[in-house]
């Protein structure tokens, strides 16, 4: 109860303090009027009280005008500063975009690059690749993604675009480029030649058919490009990874949170649409063994319209089969 009274008293005091300049003349006028009626105040006292009341009212009017003038000046200053405030807002927005961009795009090298590929494979339901012969994709990416999809009992979409193994001039050009980067054997123990380039691409085609047959939830598309690129593009559900065939080149990682991600997805789709399609459905009832035989491999390439070169003997076909189902990591 005491607290309520204290609170009420404080409110009354604050009201009186805020309106003292109006209350003083009012109370003074009432008091003088009462005294005058009772003949207790002289005319001179009444005149003096009127002057005092007028003085207090004048002061109240002046204070109000000063307050209004200050408010007007503040508004004018704010209006003058509006362009600066607008520029600051725009600059802040641009900075936010830059910070967001830096957070969704980064570069990595060495072991971090390998870790980026491993993270991209986790729980992904898609993989798009565009590059050379697909050697790393065939050796690591495709089997690991299929393994994860099989374990989680979900579908997996894989789109691959590699160089056309039937284009000898293109394969020769690619081999010259790769060998110019390094004369030393890579993780497979081989150096790059035109013959190896063709076999690596043939092996990727065979591997695509082999994995599709062994995992029914795999939706795989394959296109053969008539041009080569020095860049490789790998796109998963979480990020795009842009690399070069030289493992020393830093990988560029673009998160799916970036607007660039959708742009690269569209680019890879359009590129694959322009490549020579491999009709994997033409394999039909042809069954491949756990390790395809030479005859099975030849029949498969005939069925999809990409016959092996006439000069390829049993050893060449066995090499392609080995690269397809027992591929070695070229960066391992």
How many residues does the structure list for the chain? 332
* % of the chain residues with pLDDT over 70: 69
Can you point out the beta strands (E) in the chain? 105-108, 126-130, 156-163, 218-225, 231-235, 239-244, 251-255, 276-277
Q: Which pLDDT tens digit goes with each residue over 4-56?
A: 556 666 666 556 555 555 555 555 555 555 555 555 555 555 555 555 555 55
pLDDT at 169 > cutoff 60:
yes
Q: Read out DSSP for 242-262? A: EEESSTTSPEEEEETTSHHHH
User: Considering only the top CATH level, what class is 109-325?
Assistant: alpha beta
Q: What average pLDDT does this structure show over 202-210?
A: 97
| Angle (nearest 5°) at CA 266 between 265 and 271 | 100
User: Residue 97 has what pLDDT?
Assistant: 44
Q: Which pLDDT tens digit goes with each residue over 67-123?
A: 655 555 665 665 665 566 566 566 555 544 444 444 689 999 888 999 999 999 999
What is the Cα–Cα distance from 289 to 201, expressed in whole angstroms? 20
Calculate the average pLDDT of the chain.
83
Residues near 225 by beta carbon (within 8 Å), at least 6 away in sequence: 130, 161, 162, 163, 164, 271, 275, 276
Enter the pTM of the model: 0.70
């Amino acid at each position: 109860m005491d607290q309520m009274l204290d609170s009420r008293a404080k409110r009354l005091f604050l009201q009186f303090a805020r309106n003292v300049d109006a209350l003083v003349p009012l109370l003074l006028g009432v008091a003088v009027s009462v005294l005058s009626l009772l003949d207790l105040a002289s005319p001179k006292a009444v005149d003096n009280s009127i002057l005092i009341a007028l003085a207090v009212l004048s002061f109240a009017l002046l204070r109000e005008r000063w307050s209004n003038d200050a408010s007007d000046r503040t508004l004018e200053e704010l209006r003058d500063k509006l362009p600066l405030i607008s520029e600051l807002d725009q600059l802040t927005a641009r900075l936010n975009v830059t910070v967001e961009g830096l957070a969704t795009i980064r570069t990595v090298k060495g072991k971090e690059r390998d870790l980026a590929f491993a993270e991209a494979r986790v729980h992904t339901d898609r993989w798009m690749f565009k590059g050379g012969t697909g050697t790393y994709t065939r050796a690591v990416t495709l089997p690991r993604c299929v393994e994860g999809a099989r374990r989680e009992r979900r579908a997996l979409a894989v789109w691959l675009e590699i160089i056309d193994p039937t284009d000898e001039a293109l394969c020769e050009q690619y081999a010259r480029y790769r060998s110019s980067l390094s004369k030393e054997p890579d993780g497979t123990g081989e150096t790059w030649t035109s013959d190896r380039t063709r076999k690596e691409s043939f092996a990727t085609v065979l591997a695509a058919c082999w994995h599709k047959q062994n995992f029914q939830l795999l939706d795989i598309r394959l296109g053969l490009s008539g041009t080569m690129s020095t860049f490789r593009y790998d796109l998963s559900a979480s990020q795009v990874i842009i690399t070069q065939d030289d493992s020393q080149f830093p990988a560029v990682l673009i998160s799916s949170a970036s607007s660039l991600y959708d742009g690269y997805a569209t680019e890879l789709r359009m590129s694959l649409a322009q490549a020579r399609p491999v009709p994997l459905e033409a394999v039909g009832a042809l069954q491949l063994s756990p390790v395809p035989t030479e005859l099975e491999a030849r029949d498969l390439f005939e069925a999809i319209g990409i016959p092996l070169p006439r000069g390829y003997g049993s050893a060449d076909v066995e090499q392609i089969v080995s690269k397809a189902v027992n591929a070695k990591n070229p960066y391992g």
